[in-house]
Amino acid sequence: MNPLLPSVVVLSEMPSDDEEPAVAKEPAVPNDPAPHILDDDGDLWLDVGISSASQGTLFKVCSTTIRRSSLVFKAMLFGPWMEAKPAEGKWIVKHPDDNPLAIGALLAVIHSRCELLPEPITAGLLYGIVIASDKYDMLPVLRPCARAWMDAAFLRYSYRHKFDMEALQLAHVAWEFGCEEGLTAIVERLVFLATLDELEELGSLRDEMQSHNFPYGPPDLLGKSNRMSPMPRLVVIQDILDFWAAEIARRIELGDGACCQAFPKPDPTERVLCDLRVLGVIIRHI
């Protein structure tokens, strides 16, 4: 992964229930006929998505700004293709398969019109933005926003006590942003906290996403369905327990001072208490 941001909210530090905020709703897809003006002097119209029989959502943008931000758009708009600027009339390029909210967010960022960004940036919307930015090779332009968006999305997810589509979406976002800490947090929660029913549901969601060609992170995040069955999970947990058991046994076998090294000649009672504290910390973190 090519890191785009250094860190993210740690999911293992779960907030208490009384701190839970209101559930964030997905921003509504714009369906008004009025165009969205990103640049008053823009020379290009992007017709994104399908909101009616005739057209989708219209964005008035600057073709030069888009060209600087995306090699894909540069080749599309300024190459020998049908999307190139016509000799006369309005320059309109249709993108019926794209998400208007995600494309609108990308356009707002590159045109420095952050006041036009949809709110809130939920996990689903962030996933759509990442998919669109990857499609048009625009992921680097999200660097100024990536950290804040990731922190907010992961914080909202940390209040949830189930694993669903949002988990797969955040896994893909963390993967694309190169956020190792965020991806690790998602995988740890999947391995140690998800129930078998939730894992089966995630497997079904994964298959559904694959059938629609929607990526969900690392190519083998969930693996084959049988690899997330109870037995392999028990093997992983057993390996961790074996490590700590061996570490405790090693300390005990070393004899005096194996755990307690605070005093050159400790009182036997103090040494025992110190050993218990050290072993207690180890057990607490298993």
Question: If we measure between CA atoms, which residue out of 87, 33, 37, 32 comes closest to residue 62?
Answer: 37
For residue 15, the model assigns a pLDDT of: 44
Structure token digits, residue 238 = 């057993």
- The string of pLDDT tens digits covering residues 120-141 is 889 999 999 999 999 999 999 9
From CA 136, how far away is CA 175, in angstroms rounded? 17
> What strands, in cross-sheet order, belong to the sheet with 44-48?
36-37, 57-61, 44-48, 92-95
For residue 3, the model assigns a pLDDT of: 52
CA–centroid distance for 82 within its chain: 35
For residue 65, the model assigns a pLDDT of: 97
- Grouping H, G, I as helix, E, B as strand and the rest as coil, residue 95 is strand
Q: What is the pLDDT along the chain (286 residues), one digit of tens a residue?
A: 545 554 444 444 444 444 544 555 666 555 556 889 999 999 999 999 976 555 689 999 999 999 999 999 999 999 999 999 999 999 999 999 999 999 999 999 999 999 999 888 899 999 999 999 999 999 999 999 999 999 998 888 887 767 778 888 898 999 999 988 888 888 887 777 777 676 666 667 767 777 767 777 776 676 544 455 555 667 777 887 888 788 777 766 665 545 566 556 667 777 777 777 777 777 776 6
Question: If we measure between CA atoms, which residue out of 50, 44, 79 comes closest to residue 63?
Answer: 44
For residue 50, the model assigns a pLDDT of: 77
Exposure string for 67-100, b = 16+ CB within 10 A, e = fewer = bebbeebbebbeeeeebeeeeeeebebbbeebbb
Question: If we measure between CA atoms, which residue out of 22, 95, 20 comes closest to residue 61?
Answer: 95
E strands, the chain, in order: 36-37, 44-48, 57-61, 92-95
- The string of pLDDT tens digits covering residues 70-121 is 999 999 999 999 999 999 999 999 999 999 999 999 999 999 999 999 888 8
Structure token digits, residue 235 = 């093997």
For residue 160, the model assigns a pLDDT of: 73
For residue 16, the model assigns a pLDDT of: 44
From CA 160, how far away is CA 29, in angstroms rounded? 24
For residue 89, the model assigns a pLDDT of: 93
Question: If we measure between CA atoms, which residue out of 222, 131, 122, 153 comes closest to residue 5?
Answer: 153
Sign of CA dihedral 269, 274, 280, 286: negative
Structure token digits, residue 24 = 């964030």
In the block, residue with structure tokens 């001072």: 257
Distances (CA, A) of 122 to 7, 15, 117, 138: 18, 19, 12, 20
Say what the pTM is: 0.70
Domains of the chain by range and CATH?
A: 1-23+119-228 (no CATH), 28-113 (3.30.710.10), 236-284 (no CATH)
- The string of pLDDT tens digits covering residues 140-149 is 999 999 999 9
Question: Are the beta carbons of 57 and 105 closer than 8 angstroms?
Answer: no
Q: Specify the long-range contacts of residues 74-81, CB closer than 8 Å, at least 24 apart.
A: 77/44
Mean pLDDT of the chain: 78
Exposure string for 251-283, b = 16+ CB within 10 A, e = fewer = beeeeeeebbeeeeebeeeebeebbeebbeeee
For residue 260, the model assigns a pLDDT of: 63
From CA 223, how far away is CA 83, in angstroms rounded? 40
For residue 74, the model assigns a pLDDT of: 97
